[in-house]
Structure 1
């Protein structure tokens, strides 16, 4: 049976995490039985039981950083890591909750895992909607630009830029999921507040992405009709923030990080801090890209002057209108 590119990428995406899932399933089976015939396997599982964070990083390194990198060399595209950004936090949440060393308030664990699932579904939906419901349609524009700018060395540079660094970022921002499953402090009022913050971030991100998708689709239709596209999205949440989708995403991650404070493990917020700094840099790159477009430059500069960067806020001048 001949499979087209979309079908091949679908099966690739489904199978990509199987090595880690198989290992973790075998590890949990060993732990439930308490013994193994193979001595080496018993030693590996005993070590894995005592070091959940180290085990997570090893599985991530070999299954994602290395394997996904090899796949990208074959396909000449880093699309797979973009898709798995929406999936890996859910896998990590269950990794920590199922690990033998896990200890948590059961209700907090269920709430955090549920919120992580909702966030993942929201972001996965936005991802596929943007990609016209195709698997591996394109790679992140930043990585695509890097590939063009340094095509000779990109094959090895991509390992550090697109994969190893992603491991640091993604594991870092998911550390609160570890702390939630490393404390028995009971559920309290602050948990309710943080849950509402997380839910608000997810909702804002979804609304902003939906408005952006409608704007892009409308401009594509105008272009097909031979009409001039609208240079800047200045409606809905985008009227009050230049990047409301980023604001919603940050609200989600900072709400999640707050659970680390509740359980007395504020060190786990370091990943969220770094992620915010990186996103600030990404914001600059996105805006530079907008200004580089001759059709949008003047309108976007006026938009910049009038509109808040991340946090939705009133216009600097209520009378300022985009032409």
Structure 2
């Protein structure tokens, strides 16, 4: 079992290294670190495929391979939708302000080394960490099948919040600046300032339920860091808090933030 775990983990490391190396080269070419956001979803899809292929090949859990391929389908639907959405959103725009703030300027201003250390390596480690439930599903026998379906239901809730939230934001941004409200506070955005980030967190808690907890308490505890870390990234590290450092400069957004939950949907105050 230990050898199987190491081999599956190594296969994810290979996927991560290849994905982040290609992304770093692409980022240098277009002078935009934000291309790593597109890679994020695609790298996790690659990690899911690696777990589904390598896991049954190196362990005796091949009877449960259907679960790994179900996880591939769920991660694939999430990752491809997210990457497609980000590609469309990035068109015609410059560098993401979050990365400008993190690096202190644009990539080609001598900041490639900082980008490798602060963005590409960090994102690569994050992909490996978040994929731990997928790795567990590849090598550990399924114990409680009903949790696979519960996890899929939580994933579905997350996909609803993420996709609908993104669509509502796109509709808002498509309005002329002088005709749209100062902040988006309708639809899902009435109940949470970041429905897309909340949805993303739900997706990965659902995958943890299906991929780790469904295999037993030990795999669940060993991989609990994955959904916890994902939620932390979304809320504080590279997500909501970092984005709001700029948004809070606007009085209308500060008023919106004072009455609206940051992440978990809740009736406005």
TM range (shorter): 0.7 to 0.9
Give 2:182's match in structure 1, choosing from 215, 222, 231. 231
Residues 59/121 of structure 1: CA separation in 2 closer, same or farther (3 Å cut): closer
Tell me which structure has the larger Cα radius of gyration: 1
**Residue 114 of structure 1: CA displacement?**
1.5
Give 1:202's match in structure 2, choosing from 159, 162, 166. 159
**Residue 54 of structure 1: CA displacement?**
2.1
8 Å contact kept, 1:66–1:159: no
TM-score normalised by L of structure 2: 0.85
* 1:191 correspondence with 2:144: no
Residues 185/148 of structure 1: CA separation in 2 closer, same or farther (3 Å cut): closer
8 Å contact kept, 2:41–2:83: yes
Moved more, 235-244 or 67-76: 67-76
Aligned partners of 2:192, 2:128: CA distance in 1, in Å? 29
Give 1:155's match in structure 2, choosing from 96, 112, 117. 112
Residues 140/170 of structure 1: CA separation in 2 closer, same or farther (3 Å cut): farther
Aligned partners of 1:124, 1:59: CA distance in 2, in Å? 17
Residues 67/84 of structure 1: CA separation in 2 closer, same or farther (3 Å cut): closer
Could you say what the CA RMSD is over the residues aligned between the two structures, in angstroms? Answer: 2.5
**Residue 186 of structure 1: CA displacement?**
4.9
Aligned partners of 1:190, 1:90: CA distance in 2, in Å? 21
Cα deviations across residues 209-253 of structure 1 (Å, max 9, x unaligned)? 0001101111xxx23xxx354211010000111111111010001
Partner of 2:20: 65
Alignment of 1:24-63 (within 5 A): 51-61=7-17, 63=18
Alignment of 1:104-123 (within 5 A): 104=62, 105-123=64-82
Gaps of 5+ in 2: none
8 Å contact kept, 1:79–1:138: no
Partner of 2:45: 90
Residues 217/92 of structure 1: CA separation in 2 closer, same or farther (3 Å cut): same
Aligned partners of 1:184, 1:216: CA distance in 2, in Å? 47
Residue 86 of structure 1 aligns to a residue whose secondary structure is helix
The count of corresponding residues between Structure 1 and Structure 2 is 256
**Residue 183 of structure 1: CA displacement?**
1.7
Gaps of 5+ in 1: 1-46, 317-323
8 Å contact kept, 1:107–1:187: no
Residues 305/278 of structure 1: CA separation in 2 closer, same or farther (3 Å cut): same
Aligned partners of 2:189, 2:40: CA distance in 1, in Å? 24
**Residue 205 of structure 1: CA displacement?**
0.5
Aligned partners of 1:87, 1:146: CA distance in 2, in Å? 23
Residues 50/196 of structure 1: CA separation in 2 closer, same or farther (3 Å cut): closer
